[in-house]
Structure 1
Amino acid sequence: MNKRPQKNKQTAAKGNIRIIAGRHRGRKLPVILAEGLRPTTDRVKETVFNWLMPYIQQSVCLDCFAGSGSLGFEALSRGAEQVTLLELNKAAANQLRQNQQLLKAENMQIVHTDSLGYLRELAAARKKGDEALFDLVFLDPPFNKQFAEQAAALLNAGCLADNAIIYVETEQNSSQQLPANWQLLKEKTAGQVSYRLYRYCPE
Structure 2
Amino acid sequence: MRIVGGSLRGLKLAEMGAGDAAAHLRPTTDRVRESIFNLLVNGTHGNPVPGARALDLFSGTGALGLEALSRGAAHATFVDDGAKAQALIRSNVAKARMEGAATLLRQDAARLGANRDAPFDLVFLDPPYAQGLGERAIASALAGGWLAPGAVVVWEESRPPLIPAPLVQIDQRRYGDTLVTLARLATAQAGT
Aligned 1:26-37 pairs, distance under 5 A: 26-32=10-16, 33-35=19-21, 36-37=24-25
Name 2:182's counterpart in structure 1.
197
Check conservation: 2:156, 2:179, Cα contact below 8 A.
yes
Which one of 6, 21, 39 corresponds to residue 51 of structure 1? 39
**Higher relative strand content:** 1
Q: Please, which of 139, 143, 151 is the counterpart of residue 125 of structure 2?
A: 139
Which aligned pairs between 1:121-160 and structure 2 lie closer than 5 A? 121-122=114-115, 130-157=116-143, 158-160=145-147
Residue segments in structure 2 that go unaligned for 5+ positions in a row:
42-46
Query: Which residue is equivalent to 2:165?
Result: 180
**Offset of 1:192 from its aligned partner?**
2.2
Q: Which amino acid aligns with 2:166?
A: N
Name the CA distance, whole Å, in 2 between partners of 1:150 and 1:84. 19
Counterparts of 1:11-22 in structure 2, within 5 Å, are 17-22=1-6
2:155 equivalent to 1:168: yes
Describe the superposition over 1:119-151 as per-residue Cα deviations: whole angstroms up to 9, x where unpaired.
2232xxxxxxx4310010001101121011111
Computing the radius of gyration from Cα coordinates, the structure with the larger value is: 1
| Residues 141-166 of structure 1: per-residue CA shift (max 9 Å, x gap) | 01121011111112222221110000
Q: State the partner residue of 2:104.
A: 110
Distance 1:181 1:171 in 2: 22
| CA-CA distance at 1:68 after TM superposition | 1.5
Question: Structure 1 regions of 5+ residues with no counterpart?
Answer: 1-16, 123-129
> Number of matched residues?
177
Alpha-carbon deviation of 1:75? 0.5
Aligned letter for 1:186?
A: D
- In the superposition, the TM-score normalised over structure 1's length comes to 0.82
More displaced stretch, 130-139 vs 54-63: 130-139
Q: Distance in 2 between matches of 1:114 and 1:134?
A: 17
For residue 91 of structure 1, report the CA deviation from its aligned partner.
1.8
Q: Distance in 1 between matches of 2:63 and 2:95?
A: 14
Structure 1 residue runs of 4 or more that deviate by more than 2 Å after TM superposition: none
User: Hey, what's the Cα distance between the residues in 1 that align with 2:178 and 2:94?
Assistant: 31
In 2, the alpha carbon distance for the partners of 1:79 and 1:56 equals 6
Q: Which amino acid in structure 1 is aligned with residue 107 of structure 2?
A: T
Once structures 1 and 2 are overlaid, which stretch shifts more, 61-70 or 183-192?
183-192
Percent of counterpart pairs with the same letter?
36
